[in-house]
């Protein structure tokens, strides 16, 4: 038996058939149960472990339909509309589900009907039953009120006036029922009978495209899985071509014969549909996860899904039959590195609209970097010569480092010498200042980095060049200016 604490008492949460044969019931106090049978075995409930187990079973049920939803803490809803013919019909599919669960060590009950409410009632009160379309009322009529999925308080109120079965509720006038017991009672009744639609919300998003392969002999080797990925990607390519799209996010699902499911997902920096390239990416991913994937007795179902797609731009080939695709090799290289080491392994700098040098560039994941969708324009020879931008250091520090400046030629001029990292440097040449301030919408009073800066290009006695700046202005009411080292030229 499994016990849990309810209020201040320890009560029975679940029990097996042997415990039921001893006249023990769910909700009974543990003190009473031990008094009746002192030798019973009791295990404390672990709701979190039960939840993980139920989610694992939901993953396994993806082999039948992608629309799988959790039902409370001990049930699953499977929307198998349009899927039963793949398994030989409704009865063959239901028998296959029950048989596989039985061999995994689970005692389950299933019901199949046109509405979620009727299927729920059939599974919990009528055994393994298939309800034909239009037979929901016949199914529910002899069942207790609990088959309608109503609150315990509502059930007690209905039983107090003599309505003890779902058939009795269906035969009663609707208006008095709604006034006395609320609209939820009629809502559950209409949902079970199919008068009102009831949606089943899947726990995972449904992939727009999926291909799978059922295997007569389970596979265990990584090489065999990679070969299957190439075959599935070839089938997937035709669907992507028909839609004019390429895959941006792919997921590989490996269903083990004992019920465990492995999900392996990866992203691409640009739309992709070439089977060989997809196989290369999953080769890197499977190599990285080889120690984490337990094949057990083998995988008997392999599925490749496209979780997200984007428009695929076909490149025009030249006379030699080669298409010019700038950046394709770099993108493939980055995707393979990310598949092996993770999404954060490859970053790309992008320009940011900010005057402050340390804010003008940000590093983001390679897949999120903006892509050029049009070819670059050729320079116009008649256009006037552009002005060269200000010189910037080769190495820019992540954060400016404070320095000590003992004296300057004039309040607004460059320093004569400065101390940085406990070393004194003598200035021989200086250029500047170049005044840089933050954007006008930044409040300089609340952000110290947003105050005005005067930058100088400095050369010391040894020929080394630095990029310094003075933060703040002399003669103001604020704190005196401070000096910082922001980069080096060589």
The pLDDT tens digits for 408-434 are 667 778 888 999 999 999 999 999 899
Q: 351 has which bridge partners?
A: 361
pLDDT per residue as tens digits for the range 73-127: 889 999 999 899 989 999 999 999 999 999 988 889 999 999 999 999 999 998 7
Higher confidence at residue 298 or residue 365? 298
This prediction has a pTM of: 0.72
**pLDDT average, residue stretch 371-388:** 57
- pLDDT winner (highest mean) among 77-81, 315-319, 472-476: 77-81
**pLDDT exceeds 60 at position 251:** yes
Q: Are 351 and 360 in contact (CB under 8 A)?
A: yes
Q: Rounded CA gap, 262 and 402, in Å? A: 52
pLDDT of residue 382: 58
pLDDT of residue 388: 65
Q: Rounded CA gap, 11 and 27, in Å? A: 5
Q: Rounded CA gap, 15 and 21, in Å? A: 10
The number of C-alpha atoms within 13 Å of 11 and in the hemisphere containing its C-beta is: 10
Q: 311 has which bridge partners?
A: 245
**pLDDT exceeds 90 at position 238:** yes
Phi, psi of 313 (to 5 degrees): -90, 115
- pLDDT winner (highest mean) among 21-30, 77-86, 330-339, 371-380: 77-86
Residue owning tokens 């947003």: 450
pLDDT of residue 383: 55
Question: What average pLDDT does the chain have?
Answer: 86
**pLDDT exceeds 60 at position 372:** no
**pLDDT exceeds 70 at position 142:** yes
**pLDDT exceeds 80 at position 396:** yes
Q: Cα separations (Å) of 96 from 64, 90, 152? A: 10, 10, 34
Residue count of the chain, please give it. 490
**pLDDT exceeds 70 at position 325:** no
Task: Please list the alpha-helical segments (H only) found in 37-79.
Answer: 47-60
pLDDT of residue 364: 82
Q: Are 272 and 247 in contact (CB under 8 A)?
A: yes
Q: Rounded CA gap, 209 and 202, in Å? A: 16
pLDDT of residue 116: 93
């Amino acid at each position: 038996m499994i016990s849990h604490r309810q209020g201040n008492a320890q009560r029975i949460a679940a029990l097996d058939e042997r415990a039921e044969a001893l006249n023990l019931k769910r909700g009974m106090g543990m003190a009473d149960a031990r008094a009746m049978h002192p030798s019973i075995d009791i295990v404390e409930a672990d709701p979190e472990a039960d939840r993980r187990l139920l989610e694992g079973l939901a993953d396994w049920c993806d082999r039948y339909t992608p629309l799988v939803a959790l039902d409370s803490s001990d049930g699953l809803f499977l929307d198998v509309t349009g899927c039963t013919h793949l398994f030989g019909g409704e009865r063959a599919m239901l028998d296959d589900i029950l048989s596989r669960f039985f061999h995994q060590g689970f005692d389950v009950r299933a019901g199949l009907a046109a509405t979620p409410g009727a299927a729920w009632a059939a599974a919990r009160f009528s055994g393994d039953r298939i309800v034909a379309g239009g037979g929901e009322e016949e199914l529910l009529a002899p069942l207790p009120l609990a088959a309608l999925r109503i609150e315990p308080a509502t059930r007690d109120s209905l039983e107090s006036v003599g309505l003890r079965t779902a058939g009795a509720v269906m035969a009663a006038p609707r208006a008095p029922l709604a006034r006395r017991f609320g609209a939820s009672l009629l809502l559950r009744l209409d949902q079970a009978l199919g008068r009102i639609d009831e949606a089943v919300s899947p726990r995972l998003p449904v992939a727009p495209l999926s291909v799978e392969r059922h295997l007569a002999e389970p596979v265990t080797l990584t090489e065999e899985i990679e070969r299957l990925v190439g075959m599935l990607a070839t089938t997937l390519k035709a669907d992507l071509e028909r839609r004019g799209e390429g895959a941006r996010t792919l997921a590989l699902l490996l269903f083990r014969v004992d019920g465990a499911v492995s999900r392996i997902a990866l992203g691409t920096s640009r739309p992709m549909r070439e089977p060989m390239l997809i196989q290369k990416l999953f080769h890197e991913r499977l190599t990285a996860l080889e120690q984490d994937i337990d094949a057990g007795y083998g995988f008997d179902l392999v599925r490749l899904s496209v979780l997200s797609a984007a428009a695929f731009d076909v490149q025009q080939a030249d006379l030699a039959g080669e298409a010019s695709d700038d950046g394709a090799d770099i993108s493939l290289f980055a995707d393979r590195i990310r598949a092996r080491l993770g999404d954060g392994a490859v970053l790309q700098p992008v320009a940011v609209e900010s005057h402050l040098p340390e804010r003008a560039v940000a590093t983001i994941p390679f897949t999120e970097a903006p892509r050029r969708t049009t070819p670059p324009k050729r320079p116009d020879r008649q256009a006037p010569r552009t002005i060269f931008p200000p010189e910037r250091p080769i190495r820019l520090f992540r954060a400016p480092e404070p320095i000590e400046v003992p004296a300057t030629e004039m309040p607004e001029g460059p320093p004569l010498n400065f101390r940085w990292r406990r070393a004194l440097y003598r200035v021989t040449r200086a250029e500047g200042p170049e005044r840089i301030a933050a954007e006008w919408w930044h409040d300089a009073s609340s952000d110290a980095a947003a105050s005005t800066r005067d930058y100088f290009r400095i050369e010391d006695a040894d020929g080394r060049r630095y990029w310094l700046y003075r933060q703040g202005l002399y003669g103001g009411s604020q704190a005196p200016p401070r000096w910082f080292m922001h980069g080096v030229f060589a």
